[in-house]
Amino acid sequence: MANIKIIAATGCPTGIAHTFMAEEALKQAAAKLGVDIKVETHGQVGVQNELSAEDIKQADGVIIAADKDVGADRFIGKPVLDVPVARGIRDAEALIQTLINKKAPIYGKKTAEKTAEETDIIESGSAGRKIYKHLMNGVSHMLPFVVGGGVLIAISFLFGIHSADPKHPSYNAFAELLNKTGAFGFQLMVPILSAYIADSMAKRPGLIVGFIGGMIASTGGAGFLGGIVSGFLAGLIIYGLSYVLKKMPQSLEGLKAIFLYPVLGIFLIGAVMFVLVEPMTAINEGMKHFLADFQGASPVILGLIIGCMSAFDMGGPVNKAAYVTGTALLAEGNQYFMAGVSAACITPPLVIAFATLFFRKYFSQQDRNAGLVNFILGATHITEGAIPFAAKKPIPVIPILMIGSSVSAILTYSFGVQVPAPHGGFLVLPVVNGAFQWVVSILIGSLIGAFLYGLYQKRAYEKIEKG
């Protein structure tokens, strides 16, 4: 088995935690099974440990554990398992064993379209998964703009809420610089989202058309939802153009890429989006007003929904739906919604950390060490630190984390806390409006979850002892 060589590519939308957790899980599983593995990571700093053409040529199989575009076309003709990044963390050994058993489909052939019913590993044929990967590729590229811009705007508020306005008595030139620079990050959010959805679908021609479609959506008021629609439309437009132009001579391929795709693509996305932008703007405004009304009238229900979503898969698709909605509303000026989302995302790792601290006797030394690390992860808004604990006992642990996150979010909304930054955890406390109430909300939710988890762990420990 030692002569088997496997390569892998991992990537998650934020590129912070899941990407590298999947890398570590695959390496550990490969060592256990006695196979060689090289893992390429697609994190927020870019591609690391990049796979060479020789690596791909020599590989006996490929694992793609990613929720974003990692350039799968280079693996055509190879046995490939294409799964969500969470599966790479949870089922690393099973994935590698499937390649060892030569049960993986050949990428690029119809066999790659097998469903999960035909094999319990392969997920590459799902249309829904492909759509999700395209969407998350856009989100992945968008987040640094939102986080960078949002934090700069938030810091500008330290000088006064109106300190960036030259006409206001509290005006500060440095605050204006921070505010205006950060605002560019927010202004590019929708175009970048749209461009990289289209890029995932149709590569560079899609990127160009998607960016223009996103600009129309952004300037027209269609916002985040308009950016998603324009991104997928741009990808489809390039698909259509490639089909219409496929009979052109090979010698004119360069003309297609540099002239026909951009000119025709930009014209078509403009024609479609100028029709769609008005109804999409109405939907966008309606959603904002609905959430704002809901937030004021029913903080308990809203907090319960956000808490459960954030803790359900801790950085996965459901968590990202809540977080991305929060960033979109933050860009529209709603700082209340993000406060609850942030509280709910910070809580799960703190639940783990407090549980391993207060109920030390009932956790292994390895779990206690990992628990201490979760204090740092939670404080910096990295929810994924709770995943290894949830993976061991998902049925009791995930509901407990959902309870803790829901309490934190409900209290945050009830106190009317405002968080102007989309990431950073407790590092952004100086710019939080209602910082004390926010910390108290998170601590209460975390401690409730910690005692529930600790009591469960105590019961399980005592049951084994009596054994």
Residue type, 96: I
Structure tokens given for 67? 């929720």
CA distance 442 to 286: 30
Contacts of 247 (CB under 8 A, 6+ apart): none
Contacts of 283 (CB under 8 A, 6+ apart): 225
Determine the 3-state secondary structure of 180 from DSSP. helix
Which residue, chain included where needed, has tokens 């703190």?
350
Could you give the angle at the alpha carbon of 335 between the alpha carbons of 332 and 339, nearest 5°? Answer: 140
Of 57, 61, 77, 17, the C-alpha closest to 41 is 17
143 burial type by CB count under 10 A (0-12 exposed, 13-18 middle, 19+ buried):
buried
Q: What is the residue-wise DSSP string for 35-72?
A: -EEEEEEEETTEEESPPPHHHHHH-SEEEEEESS---G
Residue type, 259: F
Assess whether 12 carries a catalytic annotation. Answer: yes
CA distance 217 to 220: 5
Q: Find how far residue 257's CA is from the centre of its chain.
A: 31
What does residue 60 show for φ and ψ, rounded to 5 degrees? -90, -15
CA distance 415 to 177: 31
CB contact at 8 A, 140 and 15 = yes
Contacts of 367 (CB under 8 A, 6+ apart): 356, 389
CA distance 362 to 355: 10
Contacts of 2 (CB under 8 A, 6+ apart): 34, 35, 36
User: Active site residue: 7, 12, 308, 352, which one?
Assistant: 12
Which residues does the annotation mark as catalytic?
A: 12
